[in-house]
Structure 1
Amino acid sequence: MAQRYVIDILYPHFLPLLRCHPGTVFQQDNTHPHTARVSTDYLLHVEVLPWPARSPSFSPIEHVWDQLRCQPSHVNCK
């Protein structure tokens, strides 16, 4: 499952996002596909925000959803 996460999600979607938006900070929860070695190895050179254990309300990403809703919904990257 972790390998599929890298192949189906990180590689086709996340890598283009990084190219389009240098300095992007990434956050993911602690589910197994996200913390498996194949996933963490893929993200070695990416800044990943820590996820507090069992505390989704303390997660930094929870405080930016309103800000993200104000951003354009479609960004053209070339």
Structure 2
Amino acid sequence: MLIVLSTSGNSQNINNALIKAKELSISSIAMLGKGGGESFSIAETVILIDSNSTARVQESHQLISHILCELIEAELGYE
């Protein structure tokens, strides 16, 4: 699984990684802001932060990342 974070969704390196993941049949989740940009239509799953504020988008990405890590650790029995 590929998980990417992009404030704008228009970072070429992120989009290239998402395209490659799709070619290799690797699932992808994109955490995006500012409307999602190009990444919105490339990623398999999108978590879109509905804000144009870079700081708010990045803070939201950080919170979501921590929650995902906690859920994965709990699932693996590392609580």
TM-score (norm 1): 0.38
Task: Give the structure, 1 or 2, with the largest relative contact order (CA under 8 Å, sep 6 or more).
Answer: 1
Bigger share in helix: 1
Larger strand fraction of residues: 2
